[in-house]
Amino acid sequence: MRRSSYFLPILKENPTEAQIVSHRLMLRGGMVRQSAAGIYTWLPLGLRVLRRIERIVREEQDAAGCQELLMPTIQPAELWRESGRYDVYGKEMLRITDRHEREMLFGPTNEELITDIFRQAVKSYRDLPKLLYHIQWKFRDEIRPRFGVMRGREFLMKDSYSFDLDYAGAKRAYNKMFVAYLRTFARMDLKAIPMKAESGPIGGDMSHEFIILADTGETEVFCDRSLIEYDVLRDSVDFDGDLEPYIKRWTQYYAATSDKHDPAAFAALPVERRVTARGIEIGHIFYFGKKYSEAMKATVTGPNGEAVAVEMGSYGIGVSRLVGGIIEANHDDAGIVWPKSVAPFQVGIINLKPGDADCDAASQETYRKLNESGVETFLDDLNESPGSKFATMDLIGLPWQIVIGPRGLKKGIVELKERRSGKREELSTESALSRVLS
């Protein structure tokens, strides 16, 4: 992508409405624009990141055996009356009346709708288990939308739903999602901590919030350092096998606690392993048994011919919140520092002197070679001061920068900068390319 033709409205000044760094950087870096409180347009650069996150989430859901479908954003109120949640949900629900005076709503979550889809289609225990998900916009009329996309009113969520005949099956589904979540966040270079959460009236230990550490987080976290240091991706996981021992190690040995849960377990850790920090909730997995299946009569015929209400769980990831969350965990004074797996482009080329024949040719050639090798590349070919171009490139945080200027070219070199470390090297164009490609 060439900057001269890209829609990238960079702000030079700090927007006053942004209270936290991710919101500020997303506005300054031309990723999003607010259209109403808590409602955002995703500009091309922001959308690229959102899509990359979405892709990782999707791949890990698929790998865990979860099947994608797509439910609508607008739902009939009727289903929520059946579950009993229409009245209790309160003002967070955006209620809509259509031209025929039918009551509708913009979905804040999809338990009712998926239960309805399920009960119409699945009649026998032989058709279980089922594990389904979608990635769809939600609306919650939050009392205080703030922090940009981190607490929006309209936001993108991945939500999965499991249907099983019995508790053992539900637990298996829960475990799959638990491991899939660890892997999903690790692929984004995030240290995600599964923290035991309030599990509501059903009890048990089947609810975890996944929290990433960041100073601006709304949640206080107490956890074992080994949990932060553990490399999840080094484990190969067989989602068809028994995940219980793996989960046990995470939930017991690597006990994560909140102030509400088990302060004693935290105090029992050796001092050097106790981490107290703040965190952002990026995912939540939840087993709720027969809450919806009983209320909405989602039953199957069991092995003995009896009607059995199915066991359910739901599993959410805040896809759009992750964009902000990743920035909170990956930035410096100059701007965003994208992990490679979610960066909007891998490489940014700065042509220091557009109009200079040598600079144009070298930039163009480097740009072409990178793109041909499948490396998504951004070329800054604007007629701006070098200082301003350096600042913009740092701001948008691409992992690699290649700076091409007339003086270097005379010596046959360009400058390669790694955004995260700030390390610069003068190299031949060829070596810079092979470094980036390796």
**Residue located via tokens 């302060």:** 263
The secondary structure of 160-191 as a DSSP string is EEEEESSHHHHHHHHHHHHHHHHHHHHHTT--
CB of 149 to ligand ATP, least distance (A): 6
- Residue number of the CB closest to ligand ATP reads 318
- Residues within the interface to ligand ATP (CB under 6 A): 109, 140, 142, 151-152, 155, 157, 281-284, 316, 318, 320-321
Closest CB to ligand ATP among 279 and 344? 279
Distance of closest approach, residue 281 Cβ to ligand ATP, in angstroms:
5
Task: Give the DSSP letter string of 230-260.
Answer: --GGGS---TTS--HHHHHIIIIIT-EE-TT
Of 418, 256, 341, nearest in space to 54 by CA: 341
Sequence-separated (6 or more) residues with CB below 8 Å from residue 421: none
Min CB(144)–ligand ATP separation in Å: 10
Beta strand segments in 270-346, E: 274-289, 299-301, 307-309, 311-318, 331-332, 335-336
Which H/E stretch holds residue 350? Answer: strand 347-351
Q: Residue 140 or 417: which CB sits closer to ligand ATP?
A: 140
Q: How many CB atoms lie within 10 A of CB 158?
A: 24
Write down the least CB distance from residue 276 to ligand ATP, Å: 20
Pair 376, 400: CB distance under 8 Å: no
| Nearer to ligand ATP among residue 321 and residue 331 (C-beta) | 321
- Least distance (Å) between residue 75 CB and ligand ATP: 16
Q: Which is nearer to ligand ATP, 147 or 400 (CB)?
A: 147
Q: Point out which residues pair with 207 in neighbouring strands.
A: 286
Q: Which is nearer to ligand ATP, 292 or 367 (CB)?
A: 292
CA distance 192 to 187: 11
Closer by beta carbon to ligand ATP, 190 or else 416:
190
Shortest Cβ distance from residue 320 to ligand ATP (Å)? Answer: 6
Q: In whole angstroms, how close is the CB of 216 to ligand ATP at the nearest point? A: 13
Of 196 and 419, the one with the shorter C-beta distance to ligand ATP is 196
Between 130 and 284, name the residue whose CB sits nearer to ligand ATP. Answer: 284
By CB neighbour count within 10 A (0-12 exposed, 13-18 middle, 19+ buried), where does 16 fall? Answer: exposed
Confirm if 345 and 376 have CB atoms less than 8 A apart: yes
Q: Is the dihedral of CA 311, 173, 193, 269 positive or negative?
A: positive
The C-alpha R_g of the chain, in whole angstroms, comes to 24
How far apart (Å, rounded) are the C-alpha atoms in residues 208 and 250? 12
| 397 token code pair | 């945080």
Q: Which two tokens stand for residue 430?
A: 């060829």
Task: Report in angstroms how near the CB of residue 92 gets to ligand ATP at its nearest.
Answer: 9
Q: Taking the complex as a whole, how short is the minimal distance between the CB of residue 50 and ligand ATP, in angstroms?
A: 12
CA quadruple 327, 194, 47, 56: dihedral sign: positive
**Residue 105 CB, nearest approach to ligand ATP (Å):** 15
DSSP state of 3: G
Cα-based angle 361, 366, 370 (whole degrees, multiple of 5) = 150
115 or 299: whose CB is closer to ligand ATP? 115
Q: Give 141 or 356: the residue with its C-beta nearer to ligand ATP.
A: 141
Q: How far is the CB of 28 from ligand ATP (least distance, A)?
A: 20
Distance CA 209, CA 44 (A): 31
Closer CB to ligand ATP, residue 9 or residue 200? 200
